Amino acid sequence: ILSNLLCFINRFRAQWEIYIDPKYKEKDLRVCCKHFTQSAYNHPKRKSLRWNAVPTLYLPETVDLDEPAASSSSNVADVPSTEKSAATLLPSTEVPAVEHISMVVPDVIFSFPQCDGAMEVSSSSENCTSFSSSSNESSSEIGAALSDHDYHYKDLQPFSSVPGPSQVTSTATKRGGTIPLPRINPRCSTPLLSNIMSTARKIQKRHRNSRNKYKRKCQEVQQKKRSKEENALEVLRGLVTPFLFKMLQCQVRNAHRKPQGMRYTDEEKSVFLGIQKRGRSAYNCLPMLKPSRKTLRAVTKKLNLSPGINDIIMEALHQRTDAMEEGDTPRKKFC
């Protein structure tokens, strides 16, 4: 169910963004610095914009639309050759005597329906586009047209705050092996989108809680198992000899392991090595408890053997004979 929901969201996420809020259509909008007033900058020299900076229609200070119209030839001569094709040439009676006005609006056309001035946008995103205004239109009329147009600058958001591709995806971490859901801003744009996202988050939360509960149960079972084994070994400690207790302890630890995965301590290896030295028949009677001969051979390779009488062996024999009585037959044999 979760995978189907995610596929459904990823497939129609782009369409939802466009139909939910039209501002997503212009989320990659770029404009030059000429479209911002001096009050929109934090520092004029560094050209760093404020967080609430909004671009406006560029009207240079040198332009005076109230001046009388000049000849059309002088106006066309001032325009560079690369921009003549993009400019709209009006008749000589309608071309005002103004210098060339340019603005950069790549891939986007600003249209003001109530303005009488003709405005065109060039295909190049690097060059500024030119527009021409009628001679009988003044700057006050342009301001009135812009104010009458339903275009509220207070409602606009700065271009830096518009969510881009990096902001649409969720930054939630992967906890418990769950898949991070894509986050669409605003979250509750439509009831359908809100219900889908909330249901997916509930499923993720339920999966995470069940996974953590399973881990806690496994830890409790392992802890109870270890405690029962320890209690059983403590009861057997007083009923058997120390040698047999070590054998039982080794068997309990390696009961559920494969022969290749059995592990033995150094003390247990020394015990089995003593059994092997006494006789192979006794060692072969313990096939499920004993380590392999290869393991015992690796232990003996670490010992430094030298020819002659070993003082450690002689001390061990003296300790055994001292515990015997004088008339005992084994004592006479050892001595």
User: 151 and 35 in one domain?
Assistant: yes
Least confident residue range of 2-6, 138-142, 318-322: 138-142
Question: Do 212 and 256 share a domain, yes or no?
Answer: no
Instruction: Count structural domains, the chain.
Output: 4
pLDDT digits (tens, 9 = 90+) for 9-65: 666 555 555 555 555 555 555 667 777 778 888 876 766 788 777 777 654 454 444
User: Does residue 95 sit within a domain?
Assistant: yes
Q: Are residues 100 and 191 in the same domain?
A: no
57 lies in the same domain as 153: yes
- Rounded to the nearest 10 degrees, the angle between the axes of helix 266-278 and helix 293-301 is 100
Tokens matching residue 130: 């030119």
Q: What is the pLDDT of residue 241?
A: 84
Domain-embedded: residue 166: no
Cβ burial, residue 165 (10 Å; 0-12/13-18/19+): exposed
Residue the block writes with tokens 């092997």: 276
Domain end point (choices 161, 196, 211): 161
- Looking at the fold, whether 150 and 123 belong to one and the same domain comes out as yes
Max mean pLDDT among 5-9, 74-78, 107-111, 280-284 falls in 280-284
> 274-316: per-residue pLDDT in tens?
888 777 777 777 777 778 888 888 888 887 777 778 788 888 8
Residues 47 and 135 in one domain: yes
* Residue 284 belongs to some domain of the structure: yes
CA angle 200, 201, 205 (to 5 degrees): 120
Last residue of a domain, one of 215, 232, 249: 232
11, 78: one domain: no
Residue 330, in any domain of the structure:
yes
Q: What is the extent of the structural domain holding 276?
A: 240-303
Average predicted confidence (pLDDT) for the chain: 63
Of 42-46, 149-153, 226-230, 248-252, least confident by mean pLDDT is 149-153
The answer to whether residue 207 is domain-embedded is yes
Report yes or no on 171 lying in a domain: no
Question: 50 and 150: one domain?
Answer: yes
The reply to whether 19 and 37 lie within a common domain is no
CA distance 335 to 321: 8
What is the dihedral sign for C-alpha 319, 323, 327, 328? Answer: negative
172 falls within a domain: no
Boundary of a domain, candidates 192, 212, 232: 232
User: What pLDDT does residue 278 have?
Assistant: 77
169: pLDDT strictly greater than 60:
no
Structure tokens at 75: 């106006």
Residue 245: inside a domain, yes or no?
Answer: yes
